[in-house]
A and B are shown apart, each in its own frame.
Chain A
Amino acid sequence: MTNSHDHDHDNELDPMTARVRALETILSEKGLIDPAAIDAIVDTYQNRVGPQNGARVVARAWSDTEFADWLARDATAAIASLGFTGRQGEHMHAVFNTPQTHNLVVCTLCSCYPWSVLGLPPVWYKSPPYRSRAVMDPRGVLEEFGVRLDKDVNIRVWDSTAELRYLVVPMRPAGTDGLDEDALAALVSRDSMIGTGLAEAPE
């Protein structure tokens, strides 16, 4: 960027903002992208598609054994029945925590993540510390999330190396009998559906 005149505001942009703005400008000028479409995409993942979707799926599975069976058998269809479909959720697989086995999802090769039910992945999920250690030292990783599993609990790590996307169904916490789906969904954190957390106990 030139610096020929005094304090054009663009000259004070941080390097990434300037770089991205330049690319968006070029592509818009060429008619290859529509900036309003970018706004719509951002709005989708900021406000509409996020872990609240996955929490609905888990709450339904906890409340309805028929749905849970369907989710285990054909997660893509069961999840679609709640209205959650699309990009990075085309081929879904649900994995259920049990007292014997805790499930943890990672993508060691990039950042594969079930967008349709969890939204965009958090920074740590895409970063080398998690991607390198989840498959080798999952207990150490879990401790960094404040999760300590009993020694006799087995850990199963799902490395998303292809186009299947995994959703962990955490165990239903004790003391939640009689709670409706809304109340149950509120106990289901994003991390509990990745496997780096557990469902919260009701207050």
Chain B
Amino acid sequence: MNGPHDLGGEMGFGPVAPETDEPVFHADWEKRVLGVTLCSGALRLWNIDESRHARESLHPADYYASSYYEIWIKALETLLVRHGCVTAEELQSGHALKKAVMDRPPLVAADVPATLARGGPCDRPVDADPHFAVGDRVTVRNIHPSGHTRVPGYAKGKTGVVEEVAGAYVFPDDNAHGRGENPQWLYRVVLTGDDLWGPQGDPSLTVSIDAWESYLERA
């Protein structure tokens, strides 16, 4: 979707303002958001792509007004309601009003190290050979799916060169919406600052994106 998250090349957000000696967390509630989000994800009712889509689907005004952990908790509430884990009434009351409908064991503390160390690899075998090869000139398709996608807006319609065939991975546009993993080849495509930004481009700049095969066409 062309949502508020697609920030490359947008203007008006001001300076970066890095913080000296930044703490890992700025408030205790941020720690709990991280933990609740990962523990809820461990129920395996949704995948990382659906969860990213829940975040980018916040209303743009809400997205820009929220810190990243605020974005996480708001999206998590949406996912938990969508998957029947909690109700809006429960969120309002702050307590469980009925029993959980699913019978899923929670992630327990003893399993946390192994679970984090395992992560969630998303490379997958595919039968087809890759369409493109290193050195091919490819154009990022000018597509505007209404659902989840990982084509950044600034690269759409732009032509670059395949630098690496980077393996085959779960296709997020399908996986986010319960349509299956449908893995595709992934390519690292290098675009020049001049091609991306025209006269405003830095001539010494190149930018790479990682693009699934169906995002690309031969130039």
The interface of chain A, by Cβ under 8 A from chain B, is 1, 14, 16-27, 29-34, 36-42, 44-46, 49-50, 85-91, 93, 108-111, 116, 119-120, 122-124, 126-139, 141, 144-145, 151-164, 191, 196
7 contacts between A and B (CB under 8 A): A25-B96, A37-B35, A87-B120, A90-B120, A108-B152, A109-B152, A155-B202
Query: Does any Cβ of A come within 8 Å of B219's Cβ?
Result: no
A138 engages B202 (CB within 8 Å): yes
Residues of A contacting B126 in the complex (Cβ-Cβ under 8 angstroms)? none
A163 engages B122 (CB within 8 Å): yes
B22 engages A123 (CB within 8 Å): yes
B205 engages A132 (CB within 8 Å): no
Residues of B contacting A135 in the complex (Cβ-Cβ under 8 angstroms)? 8-9, 152, 154, 196, 207
Q: Which of B25, B28, B36, B117 contacts A17 (CB 8 A)?
A: B28
- A-contact bits for B91-112, CB 8 A (1 contact / 0 none): 1011110011010101111011
CB-CB contacts below 8 Å: B119-134 with A: 119-123
- How far does the Cβ of A2 sit from chain B's closest Cβ, in whole Å? 9
Residues of B contacting A37 in the complex (Cβ-Cβ under 8 angstroms)? 35, 39, 106-109, 111-112
Give the one of B43, B154, B202 with max A CB within 10 A: B202
Residues of B contacting A153 in the complex (Cβ-Cβ under 8 angstroms)? 204
Q: Is the interface of A mostly helix, strand, loop or mixed?
A: mixed
Query: Does any Cβ of A come within 8 Å of B145's Cβ?
Result: no
Given contacts A16-B29, A40-B109, contact A132 B7 (CB under 8 A): yes
Q: Which of B10, B28, B104, B204 contacts A128 (CB 8 A)?
A: B10
Q: Which of A116, A124, A145, A157 contacts B205 (CB 8 A)?
A: A157
| Cα distance, A85 to B197, chains bound together (Å) | 37
B5 engages A33 (CB within 8 Å): no
Given contacts A17-B29, A123-B19, contact A91 B116 (CB under 8 A): no
| Cα distance, A74 to B24, chains bound together (Å) | 29
Query: Does any Cβ of A come within 8 Å of B34's Cβ?
Result: yes
Give the one of A19, A41, A156 with max B CB within 10 A: A41
| Cα distance, A109 to B36, chains bound together (Å) | 23
CB-CB contacts below 8 Å: B9-66 with A: 9-11, 13-19, 22, 24-29, 31-36, 38-40, 43, 52, 55-56, 64
- How far does the Cβ of A45 sit from chain B's closest Cβ, in whole Å? 6
Query: Does any Cβ of A come within 8 Å of B67's Cβ?
Result: yes
Given contacts A1-B94, A41-B116, A124-B19, contact A159 B209 (CB under 8 A): yes
A157 engages B96 (CB within 8 Å): no
